[in-house]
Amino acid sequence: MASAKILVVDDDPAIRNLVHRFLSQQNYQVKSAENGERALALFGKFQPDLVVLDINLPDTNGFHLCREMQSHRDVFVLMLTSLTDTESIKRALEIADDYMKKPFSLIELKARIRAVLRRPKLSEQPKIEKLKFGDLVIDPIGREIKVKDEIVDLTALQFNLLYCMAKQPDKAWKRAELYEQVWGEEWFGEQKLCDVHISQIRNKIKKCGSDFEYIKTVWKIGYKFQYPAEIYALKE
């Protein structure tokens, strides 16, 4: 089986070369770029499975570049940032699958990348029917979430998180169970990361016009996915 392909984008040559060399030693196929223009050119030719992306670039920023790449294909993005303010971190998690603060440990970088790449690829599974809950439609093959026929702009990780819970409505999920199912057994990061992604999923669904909160908080446990009440009534 061919090794995963990773594109490293960072304008700092020391960091870029260090990460490139380290990931190459882990037997990944690696390309690197120092700016947005070069990154997009490599992205089209290299077709990476994951992009390690710095937020601050000389000709653009990581937020814009991430959106541009995701508009072309479904790709995992791990953002690197020296920014520590809550708003920047929140913005990163709205569009990327994970983030790491600079300076960072190469061992942690390795663990996070392995966890992302070990997530199930739903497109490779046998044909699965769409899940429909009132105005919410989840398409696991096309990897699309729609509310009232409007596409909900979720990241790959957020899609997996919502789909994982929606497959078992009313199941109370502990955070540790969600980390194991969605992030993978080798998940490595902050304990509140799940809460941040759940909040983003809720906000994005609401912005598409949904009047129902599909993901409920289960006090002292975690979360569960629920049907709208009118669907329960129709089933009785």
List the pLDDT tens digit at each of the 236 positions of the chain.
568 999 999 999 999 999 999 999 999 999 999 999 999 999 999 999 999 999 999 999 999 999 889 878 878 899 998 877 777 777 787 788 888 888 899 999 999 898 888 765 444 444 567 898 888 999 987 888 999 889 999 988 899 899 999 999 889 999 888 888 887 655 555 667 889 899 999 999 999 988 889 999 998 899 999 987 654 444 44
Q: List the one residue out of 61, 105, 54, 59 whose CA is nearest residue 77.
A: 54
Residue type for position 218: V
Report the SS3 class of residue 14.
Answer: helix
Domains in the chain, CATH or no CATH each: 5-117 (3.40.50.2300), 122-235 (1.10.10.10)
Distance CA 114, CA 219 (A): 31
Cα dihedral across residues 50, 94, 206, 231: positive or negative: positive
Question: Within 13 Å, how many C-alpha atoms sit on residue 136's CB side?
Answer: 26
Residue type for position 71: S
